[in-house]
Amino acid sequence: MIKACCLVDPLGLIDLTQEEEYQEINKFISKIFKRIEESVSFEPDVFPHELIKGKKADIYIFDYGGLGCGCEDTINHLYRSLIQAIQDRPNVLFIIYSAFSATHWFEPIVKEELGEDAKFPNIIIYDDYEKLDEILEWFR
């Protein structure tokens, strides 16, 4: 059983509520792992600091910030916590579920905190269906 944890912002997507986005991500992850006959346990509303403190997960999906919901300081703090979790948990696959969130929030904070050349082998920025095999490969 694959343990998947997830956090999305309260605004969800442009055309989905937060709850609908969680449902979409759960279906997405379950469909991927069905290809290798693996079931998925899905837990929404898990913040990055919970992983830093030891919460168990095999895969962590994160889509927070988008066009800037909430206070920018809060979003920056969440991404810094996400970076710390990525570094602390090398055996967890992290997926940023939005290319926009990745380029607008994650990548600039990584460059600011760790420099231009920082790379993480355990992160995928999900921006198209070509990443499906890359996600499965992590678990083979």
Do residues 60 and 6 make contact, with C-beta atoms less than 8 angstroms apart?
yes
53 CB contacts (<8 Å, ≥6 apart)? none
pLDDT on residue 111: 94
pLDDT on residue 110: 94
Q: Looking at this protein, which amino acid is placed at residue 41?
A: S
How confident is the model over 22-29, as a mean pLDDT? 90
120 CB contacts (<8 Å, ≥6 apart)? 86, 87, 94
72-110: per-residue pLDDT in tens? 888 889 999 999 999 999 999 999 988 888 888 899 999
d(CA 105, CA 103): 6
Predicted confidence band at 52 (pLDDT cuts at 50, 70, 90)?
very high
Here the tokens at position 65 are: 């910030």
Domain of residue 70 covers: 2-138
pLDDT on residue 12: 61
Q: Where residue 55 sits, what CATH number does that domain have? A: 3.40.50
Q: Which of 76, 68, 47, 57 is nearest to 2 (CA)?
A: 57
Give the three-class secondary structure for 62.
Answer: strand
Do residues 65 and 9 make contact, with C-beta atoms less than 8 angstroms apart?
yes
Do residues 62 and 83 make contact, with C-beta atoms less than 8 angstroms apart?
no
68-82: per-residue pLDDT in tens? 566 788 888 999 999
Indicate yes or no: pTM above 0.85.
Answer: yes
For the cut 80, the answer to whether the pLDDT of residue 28 exceeds it is yes
For the cut 80, the answer to whether the pLDDT of residue 65 exceeds it is no
Structurally, the chain folds into a number of domains equal to 1
